[in-house]
């Protein structure tokens, strides 16, 4: 089975994330969307909210699991018997950053990182931009799946 882990904080999940995951489904038998827990990071949305946004976005998609984890992504991959890490690239800066992480992960394990370029219409979207739009009362609906809502 070709199992991949798509790690991130997903604060919140964006249409860029959604695009990579949907396209990744054509490459892998299963994708584990892994929400990393970092006690030092201040999140806009709670862990449970982030998990629900993702689960609702992929309701009925049997090839997707949503899980949380702490620690190294490669350790989580080993625990889940995943041979691949799936990552999205928006621009050259993402590539340089992700390349260093992929090399480190490869040094620590046998897990391969697979990169997909975001679709051209989604390459400008990031969770930090979405959070800024939300904080300032802007219309964020074209940046995230419909399942992301604010109470």
**Residue percentage of the chain with pLDDT more than 90:** 87
At 72, list the tokens.
């190294």
| Statement: residue 141 has pLDDT above 70 | yes
Assess whether 41 carries a catalytic annotation: yes
What rounded mean pLDDT belongs to the chain?
94
Query: Which of 20-24, 124-128, 147-151 is predicted least confidently?
Result: 147-151
* Catalytic-role residue among 22, 56, 90, 106: 90
Burial class (CB in 10 A: 0-12, 13-18, 19+), 119: middle
Q: Each residue of 12-58: pLDDT tens digit?
A: 999 999 999 999 999 999 999 999 998 788 999 999 999 999 999 99
Asked about 17 being catalytic, the answer comes back as yes
- Determine phi and psi for 103, rounding to 5 degrees: -65, -40
Question: Which of 17, 50, 51, 87 is flagged as catalytic?
Answer: 17
**Preceding peptide of 12 cis, ω within 30°:** yes
pLDDT band at 91 (very low <50, low <70, confident <90, very high): confident
Residue 127 annotated among the catalytic residues of the structure: yes
Does 103 participate in catalysis according to the annotation? Answer: no
Residue 151 has pLDDT above 70, yes or no: no
Task: Give the per-residue pLDDT at 108.
Answer: 92
Question: Which of 50, 83, 87, 127 is labelled catalytic?
Answer: 127
- Residue 105 confidence (pLDDT) above 90: yes
| Structural domains of the chain, ranges and CATH numbers in brackets | 3-135 (3.40.50.620)
Q: What is the pLDDT of residues 75-85, one digit of tens each?
A: 999 999 999 99
Give per-residue pLDDT as tens, 64-76: 999 999 999 999 9
């Amino acid at each position: 089975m070709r199992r991949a882990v798509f790690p991130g904080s997903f604060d919140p999940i964006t249409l860029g994330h959604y695009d990579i995951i949907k396209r990744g489904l054509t490459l892998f038998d299963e994708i584990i969307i892994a929400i990393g827990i970092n006690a030092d990071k201040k999140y806009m949305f709670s862990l449970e909210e982030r998990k629900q946004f993702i689960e609702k976005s992929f309701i009925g998609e049997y090839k997707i699991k949503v899980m949380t984890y702490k620690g190294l992504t490669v350790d989580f991959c080993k625990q889940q018997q995943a041979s691949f890490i799936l990552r999205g690239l928006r621009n050259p800066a993402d590539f340089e950053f992700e390349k260093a992480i992929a090399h480190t992960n490869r040094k620590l394990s046998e897990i391969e990182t697979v990169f997909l370029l975001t679709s051209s219409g989604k390459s400008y979207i990031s969770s930090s931009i979405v959070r800024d739009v939300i904080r300032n009362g802007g219309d964020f609906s074209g940046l995230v799946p419909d399942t992301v809502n604010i109470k």
